[in-house]
Amino acid sequence: SRQFTRPLNDLSNQFNTLLSAVAGADRVFDIIDTEEEAVDENGAEPLQNILGKVEFKDVSFSYEKGGDTVSQLNFQAKPGQTIALVGPTGAGKSTIVNLISRFYEPDQGEILIDGHDSKKITRESLRKQMGFVLQDSFLFQGSIRENIRYGRLDATDEEVENAARAANAHSFIQRLPEGYDTELSQDDAGISQGQKQLLSIARAILADPAILILDEATSSIDTITELKIQEALQYLLKGRTSFIIAHRLNTIKNADQIIVIESGQIIEKGSHESLLEQKGFYHDLYTSQLEKKMLMNS
Ligand code: ATP
């Protein structure tokens, strides 16, 4: 539905702009007009070597004048934690990741990165340390090797292949007649949706960001590729703070924290076990087959 795709497109469009800024607009498939981003605040400074602590303090935001899209958000992600964002369609999950990625700024409250007000950090330095694995894989016209190398432009061929191995992508790439030199184009060179995801995971592994934004795919993927994706994600998530717009029950259960959002507010947060014990919204969702419901949102 439109309601579902718009916010994701929002992040995607902005992300494409970001990509094109690095790679040259001609290399990215779909460059779509986006709003002008605000400039960095006066005196904003780069922050290097982010550990990945992310804190929301009374954060409220709305896209348009009127009621808040999200309001009074409070949570803390410790470095390395996996945070699953769960909730019905339109609840505000994408908005939260849009705010973490600084595509929008809070109207009220603060977002702290490693204890620093994120407004006082340059966007460029922040985004260099953030990775995105989104439902659309942002593959561009070029070889598979170039597409993976996009994660870190100075990576050697060996590093590209190591990332592909870690992402469970190496074996399918090798089976292609042209291997890593296979050209991706709009007709996709016979690469499946799941394989595209593996490529975008390989790219993120190569980039090695401190903070990862993951919009878990909802498309149905064959069981074997799905297992490969799950395994590759486990590797990718290790050691970095990850925010996942989660649709798979397993991802949600394994998260360090589950944040349940409804109508722009956090209604519950905690581990799978603690939320089940609370016998609240999450418990009800879970016992009424959460996964089915989450997947039905798509
Ligand atoms: P979904 O699971 O469908 O992706 P979500 O939980 O990610 O939903 P958001 O995309 O954050 O929800 O949307 C929260 C609200 O903000 C929705 O009512 C949505 O229509 C609205 N919204 C999202 N993006 C924009 C935008 N760019 N401009 C105006 N309103 C927006």
Which tops the pLDDT comparison, 115 or 23? 115
d(CA 263, CA 103): 21
Handedness of CA 208, 211, 215, 220 (dihedral sign): positive
d(CA 275, CA 136): 31
pLDDT exceeds cutoff 90 at 214: yes
Of the chain, the percentage scoring pLDDT greater than 90 comes to 59
pLDDT of residue 134: 85
Please tell me the distance between residue 95's alpha carbon and the centre of ligand 1 in angstroms: 6
Please tell me the distance between residue 10's alpha carbon and the centre of ligand 1 in angstroms: 9
pLDDT exceeds cutoff 60 at 265: yes
Q: Is residue 93 in contact with ligand 1, taking CB distance under 6 Å?
A: yes
pLDDT exceeds cutoff 70 at 13: no
Q: Is residue 297 in contact with ligand 1, taking CB distance under 6 Å?
A: yes
pLDDT of residue 295: 47
pLDDT of residue 293: 57
Average pLDDT, rounded, for the chain: 84
- Which helix H or strand E contains 130, and what residues bound it? strand 130-133
Number of H helices, E strands in the chain: 12, 12
Rounded to two decimals, the ipTM of the complex is 0.97
Please tell me the distance between residue 224's alpha carbon and the centre of ligand 1 in angstroms: 32
d(CA 256, CA 254): 7
Which tops the pLDDT comparison, 249 or 107? 107
**pTM score:** 0.86
Q: Is residue 69 in contact with ligand 1, taking CB distance under 6 Å?
A: yes
Q: Is residue 7 in contact with ligand 1, taking CB distance under 6 Å?
A: yes
Which tops the pLDDT comparison, 242 or 142? 242
Of the chain, the percentage scoring pLDDT greater than 70 comes to 82
Please tell me the distance between residue 6's alpha carbon and the centre of ligand 1 in angstroms: 7
For Cα atoms 108, 109, 113, give the angle at the middle one, nearest 5 degrees: 135
pLDDT exceeds cutoff 70 at 186: no
Q: Is residue 106 in contact with ligand 1, taking CB distance under 6 Å?
A: no
Which tops the pLDDT comparison, 218 or 3? 218
